[in-house]
Every structure is written in C-alpha cells, then in structure tokens.
C-alpha cells in the first residue's frame, strides 16, 4: 500500500505545481458589444451581473486569464478527490 500512497503524493505534488502556475486568472467571461467591436468582462458579484470594459489591446490576455480560471476549477476538483483518496489510504487499518 505504501507504493500507492507514494503515487498519490506524487500526483498531488504535480497538481499543486500546476495550480500554482495558473494563479494569474480572472473570473468571468469575455463578451462582445455588438458590431462596434467593444468587449467586456462579465461577472456575477453578490448575485448581480457586472460588466467591465476591456480595451481592445487587452482582449487576448483577458481571454487567457478567464480560461485559466476554468482550468483551475478542474484542477481543484481533481485535487479534492486526490486528497480524499490520500485521507482514506492514510487511515486504513
């Protein structure tokens, strides 16, 4: 069983590194403002939809940062499941 715990710990370390390398993120989605080409970052804050104007030069970077948020959500879910498996493995009789 020690090998299994070792593998789980190695996977946890990999996930922690991947999470720490994706902490430059924004929550929300990039929306376009019709034919004029303006863009905004749309988010929910305390149950209300908020939009923040994005300058055209920033659109690409804002998109990357919102994609990182989606990636982080998946990584955190994977880490939570892994933590559960480690907890079970460390408490087996």
Instruction: Look up the pTM and report it.
Output: 0.81
pLDDT at residue 33, as a whole number: 80
Number of domains in the chain: 1
- Cβ-Cβ contacts under 8 Å for 72 (sequence gap 6 or more): 19, 22, 23, 25
Q: Angle 73-79-81 (CA atoms, 0-180°, nearest 5)?
A: 105
The mean per-residue pLDDT over the stretch 52-77 comes to 96
Host domain of residue 79: 2-90
């Amino acid at each position: 069983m020690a090998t299994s715990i070792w593998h789980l710990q190695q996977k946890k370390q990999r996930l922690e590194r991947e999470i720490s390398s994706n902490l430059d993120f924004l929550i929300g989605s990039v929306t376009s403002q019709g034919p004029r080409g303006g863009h905004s970052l749309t988010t929910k804050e305390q149950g209300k939809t908020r939009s923040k104007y994005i300058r055209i030069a920033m659109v690409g970077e804002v998109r990357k940062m919102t994609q990182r948020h989606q990636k982080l959500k998946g990584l955190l879910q994977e880490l939570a499941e892994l933590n559960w498996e480690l907890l079970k493995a460390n408490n087996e009789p």
